[in-house]
């Protein structure tokens, strides 16, 4: 159901971003430049969050998330898609997400909530493992996009938590669902390998 929801939302969003993609292409802006800009915006959001400007940080993070979508669209529209571009994008995505979660952990530490700091660490671990399991599976020749909590869902969840003042519950849910997604991917790869190599 979540996969269907993601697909329903992504199509209209991409259609609305097409004019921006054309504008970027006309100015010969490269996908990697957009990726770098998206990282810078995510770092700015992290700085705002660490300073206590949670809702403003969330709004800036939305812009960064759109930038993350734009780089891939621009790469395809201008025939600049490459293996390095995908690697570069994925690496900077992890940096941006790590910066935001570090800022959230800092806020909890300042507010005297050590348990929530530990929960953020679990969320970060889950986030990294979701990406790692997919990369490792693809190295084995197995498509592994299954699971509840991909980057898009994690981003939406953290933005919702920031906007609604429910950051603690949002991070706890992110940690739980990310680790559950890791389990889903491990099971998927096991089944794929067993069917391929009985």
Dist CA 184 CA 98 (whole Å): 22
Both tokens of residue 58?
Answer: 């969330």
- Non-local CB neighbours of 31 within 8 Å, separated by 6+ positions: 71, 72, 74, 75, 78, 80, 81, 85, 89
CB 173 within 8 A of CB 157: yes
Write down the number of H helices and E strands in the chain.
7, 0
Among candidates 57, 183, 77, 92, which has minimal Cα distance to 130?
Answer: 183
Cβ partners under 8 Å of residue 88, min gap 6 = 32, 35
Q: Which of 79, 93, 191, 197 is catalytic?
A: 93
Distances (CA, A) of 175 to 22, 53, 118, 121, 196: 37, 23, 10, 8, 32
Question: Which burial class, exposed, middle or buried, applies to 63 when counting CB atoms under 10 A from its CB (0-12, 13-18, 19+)?
Answer: middle
93 is catalytic: yes
The set of catalytic residues is 93
């Amino acid at each position: 159901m979540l996969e269907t929801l993601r697909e329903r939302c992504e199509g209209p969003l991409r259609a609305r971003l097409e004019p921006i993609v054309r504008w970027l292409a006309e100015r010969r802006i490269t996908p990697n430049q957009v990726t770098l800009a998206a990282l810078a915006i995510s770092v700015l959001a992290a700085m705002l969050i660490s300073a206590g400007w949670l809702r403003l940080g969330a709004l800036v993070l939305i812009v960064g998330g759109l930038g993350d979508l734009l780089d891939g669209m621009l790469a395809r529209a201008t025939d600049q898609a490459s293996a390095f571009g995908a690697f570069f994008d994925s690496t900077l995505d992890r940096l941006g997400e790590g910066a935001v979660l570090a800022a959230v952990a800092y806020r909890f530490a300042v507010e005297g909530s050590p348990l929530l700091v530990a929960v953020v660490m679990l969320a970060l671990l889950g986030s990294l493992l979701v990406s790692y399991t997919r990369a490792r599976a693809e190295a084995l020749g197995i498509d592994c996009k299954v699971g509840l909590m991909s980057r898009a869902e994690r981003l939406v969840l953290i933005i919702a938590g920031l906007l609604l003042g429910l950051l603690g519950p949002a991070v706890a849910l992110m940690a739980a669902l990310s680790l559950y997604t890791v389990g889903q991917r491990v099971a998927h790869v096991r089944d794929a390998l067993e069917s391929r190599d009985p």
